[in-house]
Structures are given as C-alpha cells and as structure tokens.
C-alpha cells in the first residue's frame, strides 16, 4: 500500500501560512508544486489555491480533507517563484496567502476568469489539396457558382503551406460574400476551426536604434562589467540626461543574446510611456510591457508567455513585475532606484520592489544594476562601502549643460506685495519670456487638488477623513473634499458643523489652482496638468506626454509624476513652487526626498535651462 500523499496549499487568506490537504489517488501522478487546485475551506464553495509542496506521510493521525480538483496539469509557477514568495512573506512579515493575492493576476485567481481569445481559421478540405482535384473543383464552380469560385480563388492565392487562411482576412474586401463562404463550408470544400490567438501586440524593432555610446558612457559601460566580475549588483550614479538608458540597452542586448530574460523595473506607469517607446524600437517583438493598465486577459497571457517561452525576453514593468514567473532571468535593471513608488504601502505585502528585485536576481544567479541621478542613501552607502559596485557618470549626453538654479524668496515677495497669484515676479517674467520665444515651461508643485485644506475662519474647525483622520483636500473640479489616503469623497459643508457660521474658506493651493491662475495670467498659452486626478483613462498619460513632446502644450503643471525620468527637448524653464514645504513632511526622509525631487525635476529638459525655486526661507 502506498503512503498517502499530502499537499501544502497556499490560499488567499491572512489567518494562516498554508493548509494541508490529502491528494486523491487519481491526481497523484498529475499534481506538482505550482499547480492550482480547488480545495474545501470552512464549508464554503471550493477555494482556489496553489500547491507549495508535496509530502508522503506513512501515517496521518488526523482527518484531512481531499483536494476537490486539479485546475492545471502544468504548473503556473516555478519552484524559484515559490521560494521567492516565501522570502517575501518572511522578510515583510505577512502571510504567504497575502503574497499570493498580490502576485497572481486576477485571471489566475479563479478557475474560469481567463478566457482565451480565438479566431476562425479556414482550411481547404484534404479532398481538394491535390492540383488535379483543385482545378476540377474550380472549373465546376466557375460555371455553376461564380461568387463561390471567386472566393475560393482568393483563398487559394492567400493560403499558407498548411492550406489555412484567417476568416477575417478572406472577408475583409467589400466584394467578399459571406453567403458564398457559408456555401463553401456547407459543401465541405472549406473547413472552419477556432484557433487560440494572442491579445498581445507584436512590437516592431528598428535594428539601427542602438546609439553610439559617448566616451563617458563607454567608460561607465566597461566599469559595470568590471564590477560584475566580483559583485552581482552595481549602482550607476549618473546625472540627469547622462544617457543611462543607452547603457542599459547595451547590457540588455548582451543578455538577450544569451537567450535569457531581463526584468526592467520602472517606478510608475507615467515613466513607462516614454521609456517603452525608446525600448520597443530597439527590442520590438522580444519585449513585453506589464502594468496595471493592461487588461486581465493580457496579464494572464504575459504570465504564460514568460513561463513557457524558450526565447529571449525583455519585460518592462512597474513594481508588481517582480512577481512574474521568470525561468531564465539573466539581468535585473532598476531604473530611478530611489523612487518611493517602488514601495507598496497598503495592503500587505508591504514590499519594496527594488529590494525584492535584488533578491529575485540573487535566486536566479542574475546580475543587477541600479540607476539614478539621486540614489537612495542606503544604496549609495552600500556602494561606497563596497557591497555594490559603484559607477559614476558625471557628464550629460552631448555635453549639455546642467541647469542654472535660482532661489526666489516668497516671503520677501509677500512682504513687498509683489506676488502674482502664487508666482514671484521673477518667475512670471521668465515665463513670459519663454512663451514669447516659443519655448516650453514645466511647473512642479507636489500637491494636487485646488486647496490644501478648508477650514472655518471663525473657529478654525477643519474637516477630517472619518477613516484616516487626516485633513481633507478641496477639489474644485469635482466640488468635493477628498482624502488623499483612502480616496473617499465628502460634500463641502455650507456651514461650519462646529460653530454654525457660514465662514468656510480654503487655504493653500494645489495643481488645480495653479492651472486656473495660469489661464488667467496667460490666456493664450496652452496649459496642461499632469497628476493622478486627470489620468484616469488608459492612454491619457501617453497622450499628455505626446502632446508636450510635439509642442502642442506650452506649460505643463504636475506633481511628483513629472520627476520620473521623462525627457523633453524644448523646455527652457522649470519652476518649483513652494519648494521648502517638502522639507516639512512628517518623514525622516523628507530632506533626502526634497533634494531628489528638485534635482530630478530640473533634469526634465534636454538642453540648458533656467530653474526657479520658490522658497519661503531661502537659507534652508
């Protein structure tokens, strides 16, 4: 008698690690770690889980429930991936079921969520595949059924070696007759089959898009390879517009030539739009783009392609990309490694994608490169101590000058009553000069909404979020108060709930108010705003960036999304509004992040620019 086989199953719950189930005899030869299974849980309907491990037990002293069904006959996860999940759960102090909920695409969390896309494909019946029988058939149709003859003749001119043609391709011309096609199928001349097709777009590459490296880039490229001989991780500290992407591209091309996979991490979707345009011109069909705006079915298809495809593959994505099922990972690139967007705050697992990606690289024995103009203190310290390789790239590409930075004292302007809305006279003059010269402007203000807070002028009562207990932000466009932590919206009170007076007023300003002020100051200027309030649609951010690149927009206002690696050639002025407020955040990293944001936003231009920082206390 064979010993019973038990399975440790990961379930999407937070009250335990794994649960043990008995494997029925009929599933014994098919089940494997990484397969999805349906199991009973608390008397409810069958729950989807992932097999983490199998064990043979000679004796079981307690009653185990049976696995109800095996969903996959081929694992949807690798053993390395399961080990990675266990590390995430251990390092970030959460349950592995919470990791599963974050890691699996929605389409893999239930048995029937994902539906494969199919299309109709037409085949010539084997009876008519010889030249003689085909000619006889055509002659017969030519005299008896002219439309069927013409359609079959078109089919034969389009057919492949497998005698197959897509139905849509055959019928795309206006003179094509669906009735004639139906007749050919009914007669058994053509056969129709449903064939599974991919939803993923095939990207086209331009073989000549890999640019020649400058001497400084060439030196940095060689130094990275030298460090990789003794260390697996290298920090590339390159100033803004120094051409780090070109160095990454060379390294990626080398790894793909070895038939391996590459993970290229970007902090936000905002950055993927412009960066992926560059990368897909180089890597084309070898590249996948993975982020939350992809549909559920697209994400499942990418998952399967990464797991099953034998060829080289570059995956460009945001932080959740670390959970994809890599099998031959050779290189991990973490661009803008300092970005706070790599940190998941809610819900668990509260992982940092940069650190998780480095562990993933270690598990796959892959190399890793971290890149930034303003590296995080922890990464820079590790590089200075010799735990990471350190490569400095201090020259901008084509020797473009770094920006001139000028501080403007807001308090002094207020005292002299010189402020124009929220702008200093110096900033207004420079904006006017740029607009007259046909140049573009970026204004950075790290606060969205219309006003920072709304309160009663009589008793100072301030509305707070009932869930988060933080002050609500006034949004004029939606005429509501909004919590920027949980997203909950509240109506604006006409009277103060505390004192009953109709004395509610807004204080401070956000990007909405900046946009309104610019329309009043420069009515002829084309103004756009880039923050999460205006970027709900899937392609909205791509369109906004494209319009600015093509100079259809004169002034772009934005929050920290503007700092994330975007490059614009025609920007002549960058204004940072209320720069010193970034120093007053309740965060021990406030000074570090303020420095990073200001350096990054100054680097959003492709040539010499003037940068104006509006500060309340200049000596900060």
Which tens digit of pLDDT belongs to each residue from 322-364?
Answer: 999 999 999 999 999 999 989 998 889 999 999 999 999 999 9
pLDDT at 613 over 60: no
pLDDT at 142 over 90: no
Kindly report the backbone phi and psi dihedral angles of residue 87, in degrees, each rounded to the nearest multiple of 5, phi listed first. Answer: -65, -45
pLDDT at 522 over 90: yes
Convert the pLDDT of each residue in 433-442 to its tens digit.
999 999 999 8
pLDDT at 93 over 90: yes
Asked which of 63-72, 74-83, 399-408, 506-515 is least confident by mean pLDDT, the reply is 399-408
User: How confident is the model over 531-558, as a mean pLDDT?
Assistant: 82
CB atoms within 10 A of CB 10: 27
- Strands in 65-205 per DSSP E: 69-70, 117-124, 164-166, 190-197
Convert the pLDDT of each residue in 287-298 to its tens digit.
999 987 788 888
User: How confident is the model over 154-163, as a mean pLDDT?
Assistant: 72
pLDDT of residue 414: 83
User: How confident is the model over 597-619, as a mean pLDDT?
Assistant: 60
Q: Is residue 119 very low, low, confident or very high in pLDDT (cuts 50, 70, 90)? A: confident
Q: Is residue 243 very low, low, confident or very high in pLDDT (cuts 50, 70, 90)? A: confident
pLDDT at 401 over 80: no
pLDDT at 493 over 80: yes
pLDDT of residue 190: 87
Q: Is residue 616 very low, low, confident or very high in pLDDT (cuts 50, 70, 90)? A: very low
pLDDT of residue 59: 66
pLDDT of residue 240: 81
β-partners of residue 507 are: 453
User: How confident is the model over 417-424, as a mean pLDDT?
Assistant: 86
pLDDT of residue 198: 62
CB atoms within 10 A of CB 242: 25
pLDDT of residue 536: 64
User: How confident is the model over 522-547, as a mean pLDDT?
Assistant: 81
pLDDT at 617 over 50: no
User: Looking at per-residue confidence, does 81 or 503 come out higher?
Assistant: 81
SS (H, E, C) 535-574: CCCCCHHHHHHHHHHCCCCCEEEECHHHHCCCCECCEEEE
| Domains of the chain by residue range | 5-108, 126-188, 215-399, 404-450+509-615, 451-506
Pick the CATH number of 5-108 from 1.20.1260.10, 3.40.50.1980, 3.30.470.20, 3.40.1440.60: 3.40.1440.60
> What percent of the chain is modeled with pLDDT above 70?
89
pLDDT at 386 over 50: yes
pLDDT of residue 271: 58
Asked if 208 and 282 touch (Cβ cutoff 8 Å), the reply is no
User: How high is the mean pLDDT of the chain?
Assistant: 86
pLDDT of residue 615: 47
Asked if 351 and 323 touch (Cβ cutoff 8 Å), the reply is no
Per CATH, domain 404-450+509-615 is 3.40.50.300: yes
Report the topology of domain 215-399: Rossmann fold (3.40.50)
User: How confident is the model over 100-112, as a mean pLDDT?
Assistant: 87
Asked if 239 and 396 touch (Cβ cutoff 8 Å), the reply is yes
Q: Does the fold of domain 404-450+509-615 match that of domain 215-399?
A: yes
């Amino acid at each position: 008698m064979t010993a019973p086989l038990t399975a440790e199953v990961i379930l999407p719950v937070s009250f335990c690690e794994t649960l043990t189930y008995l494997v029925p005899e009929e599933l014994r030869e098919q089940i494997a770690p990484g397969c999805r299974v349906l199991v009973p849980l608390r008397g409810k309907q069958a729950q989807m889980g992932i097999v983490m491990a199998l064990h043979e037990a000679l004796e079981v002293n307690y009653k185990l429930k049976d696995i109800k069904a095996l969903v996959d006959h081929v694992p949807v996860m690798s053993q390395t991936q399961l080990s990675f999940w266990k590390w995430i759960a251990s390092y970030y102090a959460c349950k592995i079921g919470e990791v599963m909920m974050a890691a699996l695409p929605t389409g893999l969390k239930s048995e029937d969520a994902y539906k494969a896309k199919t299309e109709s494909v037409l085949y010539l019946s084997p009876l008519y595949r010889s030249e003689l029988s085909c000619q006889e058939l055509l002659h017969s149709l030519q005299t008896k059924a002219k439309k069927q003859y013409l359609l079959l003749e078109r089919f034969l001119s389009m057919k492949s070696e497998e005698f197959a043609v897509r139905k849509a391709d055959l019928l795309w011309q206006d003179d094509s007759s669906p009735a004639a096609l139906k007749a050919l199928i009914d007669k058994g001349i053509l056969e129709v089959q449903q064939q599974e097709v991919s939803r993923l777009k095939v990207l086209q590459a331009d073989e000549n898009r890999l640019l020649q490296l400058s001497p400084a880039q060439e030196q940095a490229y060689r130094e990275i390879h030298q460090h990789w001989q003794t260390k697996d991780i290298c920090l590339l500290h390159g100033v803004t517009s120094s051409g780090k992407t070109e160095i990454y591209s060379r390294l990626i091309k080398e790894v793909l030539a070895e038939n391996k996979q590459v993970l290229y991490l970007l902090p936000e979707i905002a950055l993927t739009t412009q960066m992926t345009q560059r990368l897909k011109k180089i890597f084309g069909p070898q590249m996948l783009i993975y982020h939350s705006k992809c549909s559920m079915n697209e994400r499942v298809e990418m998952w399967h392609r990464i797991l099953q495809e034998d060829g080289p593959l570059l995956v460009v994505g945001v932080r959740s990309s670390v959970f994809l099922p890599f099998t031959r990972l050779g290189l991990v690139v973490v661009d803008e490694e300092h970005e706070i967007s790599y940190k998941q705050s809610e819900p668990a697992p509260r992982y940092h994608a940069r650190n998780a990606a480095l562990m993933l690289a270690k598990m796959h024995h892959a190399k890793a490169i971290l890149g930034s103009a303003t590296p995080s203190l922890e990464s820079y310290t590790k590089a200075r101590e010799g735990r990471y390789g350190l490569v400095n790239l201090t020259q901008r590409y084509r020797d473009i000058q770094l920006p001139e930075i000028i501080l403007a004292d807001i308090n002094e302007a207020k005292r002299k009553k010189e402020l124009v809305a929220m702008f200093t006279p110096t900033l207004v003059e420079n904006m006017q000069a740029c607009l007259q010269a046909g140049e573009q402007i970026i204004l950075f203000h790290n606060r969205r909404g219309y006003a920072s807070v709304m309160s009663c002028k009589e008793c100072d009562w301030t509305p707070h979020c009932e869930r988060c207990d933080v002050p609500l932000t006034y949004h004029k466009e939606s005429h509501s108060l909004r919590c920027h932590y949980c997203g909950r919206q509240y109506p604006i009170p006409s009277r103060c709930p505390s004192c009953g007076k109709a004395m509610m007023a807004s204080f401070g300003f956000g990007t909405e108010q900046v946009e309104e002020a610019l329309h009043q100051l420069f009515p002829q200027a084309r103004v756009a705003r880039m923050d999460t309030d205006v970027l709900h649609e899937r392609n909205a951010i791509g369109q906004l960036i494209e319009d600015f690149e093509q100079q259809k927009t004169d002034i772009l206002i934005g929050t920290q999304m503007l700092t994330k690696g975007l490059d614009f050639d025609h920007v002549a002025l960058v204004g940072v509004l209320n720069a010193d407020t970034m120093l007053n955040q309740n965060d021990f990293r406030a000074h570090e992040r303020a420095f990073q944001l200001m350096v990054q936003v100054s680097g959003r231009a492709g040539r010499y620019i003037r940068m104006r920082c509006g500060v309340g206390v200049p000596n900060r």
